[in-house]
Amino acid sequence: MTPKHSLNQLQQQLDEQLHLLGLPERNWMPQRYYQKQPLLDVVIIGAGMAGLCAAASLKLKGVHNLALYEAAAAGQEGPWATFARMNTLRSPKDLAGPALGVPALTFQAWYQTLYGSTAWQNLGRIPRLVWHDYLQWYRHALQLPVHHAHQLLRLHTEQCDATGLPIMVCHLQDKNENTHKTVYARHVVLATGMDGLGGPNLPAWVQQLPRRCWQHSSEHIKLTELRGRQLAIVGGGDSALDTAASALEQGADSVDLFVRASSFSQINYWKAYTHAGHRDGFASLDTEQKRALFGFLGQQSTPPAQGTIERIKSLERLYIHFDVQIEAAHYHDDKVWLHCGQPLIAADHLILATGYVIEPALRPELQQIRPYLSFFPQDFFAPGLPRANNTVPRLNADFSFQSHCPEHQQSLQKIHCFTHASLLSVGKIAGDIPGISAGAQSLSKGIVAKLYQAEFDYQLEEIKRYDEQEITTEALDCISARRRIVDTMHG
């Protein structure tokens, strides 16, 4: 059986399961127009796993008037086929992920359909590019409307004169056509990944170096161009180790890896943060409980994945330096010189695997809404709790932004931050495989409630216009005739 034929069978199973559940629900929102253009109910910025799952959840609830705009070209969404360099995912293979409670949407159903049950039983961790292929199928199977190569340039709100409600205005660049377009929507979902509400976390000393001699690990790095060269990598997480391994596998001469910690930790406490209580109960915690939970988790460094450790164990010319803090750097004689005590370390090229920072000021597209966002105060953060200069936004339960300005509250409640920046507000239900369905369902439930409220008059009129007859006129006439007979008998 060919893969195409197998996937046709899986599509039939998916369609049947959705039919049994009565999904997707029919479209129940009216088509409106703004500035002589169709008004979309929801625009989703980003078509990686989070964006796709959000769109799927909304569609299943009957919100069909939506669109996803993805900056990358088709097949390049998310990190999987671009800057992710691990061989396999960290997450266990049997997690339901973005399946939204539908068995045929799971990775397991897709993988077994293509490769068989025996292959599934023998599978350890999910290969990175296989997961990417699964997400491509997910998009096609649910017919999600993705517009690739569309970059969000600016997001702001306008007040609609007809309804008095805020309208979201998205200014986009079509990279293929090199043109700009404006799209109007009732709600906008930012599903823009790890750096979607900020950017790479760059140490101050890197500004002393020419831009050509260093890169952040989130960038596209042509590893083949680093063959025969000596690399320095700063960072001790999976990203650093996978980048080091990939570079050596592609022929780099050597890699010096600099880690601030004294060793790698051995327990990943986040793996205990997976059950429904954490996902559904986090929002009900008070501030002290949240500080206790994330205060502890924030102080625990995450160990490298087992597969990553196995990958680097046999690599020669990988030198890991623990207890090292880079203090400064300079560029001389075509070398990057890192100051971390004596002696100085020299390298041909530097890669920073230093993670990301939450800082909306770094996002040009958000500049018109950033001044009105509400952020967690400094005294919220327990020691070790991840933060970035008071720039972690406060969100509502549906991932919408809170505002410190009452006059902007209504507008910001229509912009939803479905990224890792939502962690402190709603818990770990956005961006990661274990909680992504729970997050998407919370997001879609909140948006659906707001769409319904905004169009309540229309929904009421739709009920009044409902005209499907449960009892025919002929049946009523028959009943009426029998009643007259009974009345005559008792007269």
pLDDT of 385: 52
Question: How many angstroms separate the CA atoms of 386 and 363, rounded?
Answer: 20
Q: Is the pLDDT of residue 486 over 70?
A: no
40-44, 183-187, 440-444, 476-480: segment of lowest average pLDDT = 476-480
* pLDDT bracket for residue 487 (50, 70, 90): low
pLDDT of 180: 97
Sheet-wide strand order for 214-216:
214-216, 349-352, 230-234, 254-258, 318-321
pLDDT of 485: 56
pLDDT of 490: 59
Are 322 and 259 a contacting pair, CB within 8 Å? yes
Q: Between vectors from CA 40 to CA 430 and to CA 371, what angle results, nearest 5°?
A: 60
pLDDT of 478: 87
* pLDDT bracket for residue 381 (50, 70, 90): low
Q: Work out whether strand 335-339 and strand 328-332 pair parallel, antiparallel, or are unpaired.
A: antiparallel
For residue 263, give the amino acid letter.
S
> To 10 degrees, what angle do helices 456-465 and 436-454 make?
80
Q: Mean pLDDT highest for which of 124-133, 300-309, 342-351?
A: 124-133
310-324, 330-344, 450-464: segment of lowest average pLDDT = 330-344
Q: Which residues share a beta bridge with 181? A: 172
464-478: average pLDDT:
90
Phi, psi of 168 (to 5 degrees): -85, 130
- Cα 407 to the center of its chain, rounded Å: 29
Q: Is 1 exposed, middle or buried (0-12, 13-18, 19+ CB in 10 A)?
A: exposed
Question: How many angstroms separate the CA atoms of 466 and 159, rounded?
Answer: 32
275-281: average pLDDT:
91
pTM over 0.85: yes
Cβ-based neighbours of 256, under 8 Å, separated by 6 or more: 230, 231, 232, 233, 319, 321, 345, 347
| Fold category of 3-197+357-457 in CATH | FAD/NAD(P)-binding domain (3.50.50)
Question: How many angstroms separate the CA atoms of 38 and 184, rounded?
Answer: 7
Question: How many angstroms separate the CA atoms of 208 and 330, rounded?
Answer: 6
* pLDDT bracket for residue 297 (50, 70, 90): confident
Q: Which residue has the tokens 């029919």?
A: 26
C-alpha dihedral, 199 to 202 to 206 to 210, nearest 10°: -20
Q: Work out whether strand 150-159 and strand 328-332 pair parallel, antiparallel, or are unpaired.
A: unpaired
pLDDT of 356: 92
Q: Mean pLDDT highest for which of 44-53, 216-225, 285-294, 339-348?
A: 44-53
Question: How many angstroms separate the CA atoms of 65 and 438, rounded?
Answer: 22
365-387: average pLDDT:
80
What confidence tens digit (pLDDT) does each residue in 307-334 have? Answer: 899 999 989 999 999 999 999 999 999 9
Q: Between vectors from CA 189 to CA 188 and to CA 193, what angle results, nearest 5°?
A: 145
pLDDT of 188: 98
Q: Work out whether strand 179-190 and strand 166-174 pair parallel, antiparallel, or are unpaired.
A: antiparallel
CATH of region 202-264+304-354: 3.50.50.60
Annotated domain spans of the chain: 3-197+357-457, 202-264+304-354
Q: Is the pLDDT of residue 384 over 70?
A: no
Q: Do domains 3-197+357-457 and 202-264+304-354 have the same CATH topology?
A: yes
Q: Side-chain half-sphere of 413: how many Cα atoms within 13 Å?
A: 18
pLDDT of 201: 93
Q: Is the pLDDT of residue 383 over 70?
A: no
What confidence tens digit (pLDDT) does each residue in 73-125 have? Answer: 999 999 999 999 999 998 999 999 999 999 999 999 999 999 999 999 999 99
Question: How many angstroms separate the CA atoms of 351 and 181, rounded?
Answer: 36
Are 154 and 182 a contacting pair, CB within 8 Å? no
What confidence tens digit (pLDDT) does each residue in 115-162 have? Answer: 999 999 999 999 999 999 999 999 999 999 999 999 999 999 998 767
Q: Is 270 exposed, middle or buried (0-12, 13-18, 19+ CB in 10 A)?
A: middle
C-alpha dihedral, 139 to 143 to 147 to 149, nearest 10°: 30
Cβ-based neighbours of 72, under 8 Å, separated by 6 or more: 78, 82, 148, 149
* pLDDT bracket for residue 287 (50, 70, 90): confident
pLDDT of 266: 92
Local structure of 82: helix, strand or coil: coil
7-16, 219-228, 294-303, 354-363: segment of lowest average pLDDT = 294-303
pLDDT of 388: 47
Residue positions counted in the chain = 491
